[in-house]
Chain A
């Protein structure tokens, strides 16, 4: 039912937006540190591997990436509409497929750690 779907995807969008607003600046900051050559200790293979191997680590990483891709997907759908791409059903399928693939890949890699 289209109405119910909108409530769900908007909920994911809102949760993802809140999460990315809080977490992404630090995440980008970490990439900035890495790029500068000052790789933080916790990102050495042994430490980060141990973190991702723990259930807490898996949960954190999964939630962050899951909400981020669904937030981005819904937002891209709105951006497409705002730029004049009116084939909403098609755009929706495309962006949510991307989010689903992102979610599956995240789960797959995390389970492999």
Chain B
């Protein structure tokens, strides 16, 4: 385990809703261990230099999704961003495209509401298997959507998405990837229930395949791919309905 140190200068965005008219930057000099992640440096600031700094974090192991922030302009999970990948001067800002509550804490109400909107649960039209019977799902069927289950709701994708930046009504990458996760789950029969939300003009069609969401996703969910697949599904579904072809997923 390395004990070599490195000094970083952190420029952290501050905002006190009761005192400040707008956000400003505060500089901190932080002695770091070489193998730290940037969250360790922020924790050092909180513990030793400035206890008034407000920010979210929890697991420190890339599963809770709490510590998403802009690190030198890039949406990042701060517990995953090693300082060895960063220059000596690091600018830390709250996640882009969200209102700032205080310091590095953002208001996430909008996306939470959107996650609910896509009905992220198994929807059945047929009754569930009787008695002790379980749903049958082969490893192959799981493999189709497993990648999409990895989302930890860190919202880095929304921070990266320029369409969300330009129009906050856009339902956005994580919500759409979540919808697709259920649409591709063989136990689910709710595709048509979700269609109204997805086919809406604030749904999949607002996406212009910039692809930034997938590039910044720390869990490699690939929401951009999910959205393109849903566009194709949507287009095919439209023509099927037009031509009165029954069948496909209910």
Residues in chain A within 8 A of chain B (CB atoms): 2-4, 6-8, 10-11, 14, 78, 81-82
Whether the Cβ atoms of B231 and A3 lie closer than 8 Å is no
**Can you name 19 A-B pairs with beta carbons within 8 Å?**
A2-B201, A3-B200, A3-B201, A4-B238, A6-B199, A6-B205, A7-B235, A7-B237, A8-B238, A10-B234, A10-B235, A11-B235, A11-B238, A14-B232, A14-B235, A78-B208, A81-B166, A82-B162, A82-B208
Q: Which 6 residue pairs are nearest across A and B when measured between Cβ atoms?
A: A7-B238, A11-B235, A6-B205, A3-B199, A7-B235, A78-B208
Contacting residues, chain A, for B205 (C-beta < 8 A): 6-7, 10
Enumerate B234-250 residues with CB–CB distance to A below 8 Å.
Answer: 234-235, 237-239
In the complex, the number of residue pairs spanning A and B with C-beta atoms less than 8 Å apart equals 31
Contacting residues, chain B, for A81 (C-beta < 8 A): 166
Q: In whole Å, how far is B193's beta carbon from the nearest beta carbon of chain A?
A: 15
Q: Mark B171-212, 1 if CB is under 8 A from A, else 0.
A: 000000000000000000000000000011100010010000
Residue of A nearest to B198 (CB): A3
> CA A14 – CA B120 in complex, angstroms?
28
Return the contact of A10 from the options B162, B231, B237 (Cβ within 8 A): B231
Contact residues of A: prevailing secondary structure:
helix
Whether the Cβ atoms of B208 and A14 lie closer than 8 Å is no
Enumerate B91-108 residues with CB–CB distance to A below 8 Å.
Answer: none
Residue of B nearest to A7 (CB): B238
Whether the Cβ atoms of B201 and A6 lie closer than 8 Å is yes
> CA A10 – CA B237 in complex, angstroms?
13
Q: In whole Å, how far is B165's beta carbon from the nearest beta carbon of chain A?
A: 11
> CA A81 – CA B199 in complex, angstroms?
19
Residues in chain B within 8 A of chain A (CB atoms): 162, 166, 199-201, 205, 208, 231-232, 234-235, 237-239
Whether the Cβ atoms of B208 and A7 lie closer than 8 Å is no
Contacting residues, chain B, for A10 (C-beta < 8 A): 205, 231, 234-235
Extra pairs beyond A6-B201, A7-B205, A14-B232 (17, CB < 8 Å): A2-B201, A3-B199, A3-B201, A4-B238, A6-B205, A7-B199, A7-B234, A7-B235, A7-B237, A7-B238, A8-B235, A8-B238, A10-B234, A11-B235, A11-B238, A14-B235, A82-B208
Q: In whole Å, how far is A25's beta carbon from the nearest beta carbon of chain B?
A: 21
Residue of B nearest to A11 (CB): B235
Contacting residues, chain B, for A11 (C-beta < 8 A): 235, 238-239
Contacting residues, chain A, for B162 (C-beta < 8 A): 82
Residue of A nearest to B233 (CB): A7
Q: In whole Å, how far is A81's beta carbon from the nearest beta carbon of chain B?
A: 7
Residue of B nearest to A2 (CB): B201
Contacting residues, chain A, for B237 (C-beta < 8 A): 7
> CA A6 – CA B235 in complex, angstroms?
9
Q: In whole Å, how far is B205's beta carbon from the nearest beta carbon of chain A?
A: 4
Residue of A nearest to B201 (CB): A2
Q: In whole Å, how far is B211's beta carbon from the nearest beta carbon of chain A?
A: 14
> CA A63 – CA B205 in complex, angstroms?
24
Contacting residues, chain B, for A14 (C-beta < 8 A): 231-232, 235
Q: In whole Å, how far is A34's beta carbon from the nearest beta carbon of chain B?
A: 34
Q: In whole Å, how far is B237's beta carbon from the nearest beta carbon of chain A?
A: 8
> CA A57 – CA B208 in complex, angstroms?
33
Q: In whole Å, how far is B201's beta carbon from the nearest beta carbon of chain A?
A: 6
Residue of A nearest to B238 (CB): A7
> CA A78 – CA B239 in complex, angstroms?
23
